[in-house]
Amino acid sequence: MLEQLKEDVWRANLDLVKYGLVVLTWGNVSGIDRDAGLVVIKPSGVDYEKLTPDEMVVVDLAGNVVNGSKRPSSDTPTHIQLYKSFRKIGGITHTHSINAAAFAQARVEISCLGTTHADYFAGPVPVTRFLTKKEIDRAYELNTGKVIVERFRQIDYESIPGVLVAGHGPFCWGRDASSSVRNALILERVAEMALKTMALNPKTKKLSGHFLNKHFERKHGKGAYYGQDSD
């Protein structure tokens, strides 16, 4: 199981390049084996073209390396905090994709302006608060995870599978590593659409609640009917 997870996480990291979500080493994907309590994540600062499944780093939920010769991503504490708090997720993706990062830097949530957004996010994509100086100095990456969890105290993380960390960039999650990358790609496209929409018409209204709910529920609700039964 662990070797398969390492392969899955490796492929998911390569998908970041495939989908144009990263340049250089600006991003990482992880996956978790809930039964074993182990997280597989990209090694820190390694070029994507040089990655192999064997180079994926395995850590426990305390952040200790249990398998791998390289240091894990510097964002590992953030990933671990999210796995501990969002018990139903199986994969996490962090990028600095241009449009989503622009919203994060501007500290502006991505409002639901159309059905493409509503198909995957059941409301606006939220922005965290800035970390305090103490939070940055003492445990920056861990506290990044904590401010994400704080932001989701009254938000369903399953129906809004992503967040914008103020001044930083997006984190997305899903049932596994691959689906977290998919949600990161969708978030980036939604952010791009929102920016262009507001440039064309700054007075664009948010999608109405019943319209938003219809599109989200037809894909993700109990009576979902989009796609095939095997999807």
SS3 per residue for the chain: CHHHHHHHHHHHHHHHHHCCCCCCCCEEEEEEECCCCEEEECECCCCHHHCCHHHCEEEECCCCEEECCCCECCCHHHHHHHHHHCCCCCEEEEECCHHHHHHHHHCCCECCCCHHHHCCCCCCECECCCCCHHHHHHHHHHHHHHHHHHHCCCCCCCCCCEEEECCCEEEEEECCHHHHHHHHHHHHHHHHHHHHHHHHCCCCCCCCHHHHHHHHHHHHCCCCCCCCCCC
pLDDT tens track for 95-107? 999 999 999 999 9
Q: Which residue among 8, 226, 229, 231 is the active-site one? A: 226
* Residue 54 designated active-site: no
* Residue 226 designated active-site: yes
The pLDDT-based confidence of 165 (bands split at 50, 70, 90) is: very high
pLDDT tens track for 57-100? 999 999 999 988 899 999 999 999 999 999 999 999 999 999 99
The pLDDT-based confidence of 225 (bands split at 50, 70, 90) is: low
- Phi/psi for 114 (5° steps) reads -160, 175
Per-residue model confidence (pLDDT) at position 194:
98
Question: Which 3 state secondary structure label does DSSP give 70?
Answer: coil
The separation between CA 31 and the C-alpha centre of its own chain, rounded to angstroms, equals 12
Q: Which residue among 35, 119, 120, 231 is the active-site one? A: 119
Domain 2-220 has CATH 3.40.630.40: no
Average pLDDT over every residue of 172-201: 97
Average pLDDT over every residue of 162-169: 98
User: What rounded mean pLDDT belongs to the chain?
Assistant: 93
Question: Looking at per-residue confidence, does 217 or 198 come out higher?
Answer: 198
Q: What's the pTM?
A: 0.93
Torsion on CA atoms 14, 20, 23, 28, rounded to nearest 10: -40
pLDDT tens track for 118-132? 999 999 999 999 999
pLDDT value at 227 more than 70: no
The pLDDT-based confidence of 198 (bands split at 50, 70, 90) is: very high
Q: What percent of the chain has pLDDT over 70?
A: 96
Distance CA 188, CA 125 (A): 11
Question: Which 3 state secondary structure label does DSSP give 127?
Answer: strand
